[in-house]
Amino acid sequence: MNLKRRHLNESQRAMIGAKIANLPRGGDRKSENFKVENSTLTQEDVGKMLNVSRESIIAAKKIREGAIPEGA
């Protein structure tokens, strides 16, 4: 819902995808039985969520890795 409201273009969505791909899936932190699942969000999963291709996420990841750190 937020993606549509913010009118992000494909490259902006890909940069978000590059940031969150391969992060561990969270759990219900309010539950007494809280535990983080061992599975991770794959680039393909994130691409489907953000409506971008896996290749776009890979390209964005390369850009993020080669970028000059903020404030440098």
Domain ranges of the chain: 2-26+37-66
Burial of 12 (0-12, 13-18, 19+ CB in 10 A): middle
Mean pLDDT computed over 23-39? 60
Q: What is the distance between the alpha carbons of residues 66 and 11, in angstroms, rounded to a whole number?
A: 16
% the chain with pLDDT above 70: 69
Q: What is the distance between the alpha carbons of residues 47 and 44, in angstroms, rounded to a whole number?
A: 5
pLDDT at 20: 87
Mean pLDDT computed over 36-62? 85
**Res. 47: pLDDT tops 60:** yes
Instruction: For residue 70, give both structure tokens.
Output: 């903020």
**Res. 28: pLDDT tops 90:** no
Instruction: For residue 27, give both structure tokens.
Output: 């759990």
Q: Name the more confident of 37 and 44.
A: 44
Q: Specify which residues 24 forms β-bridges with.
A: 40
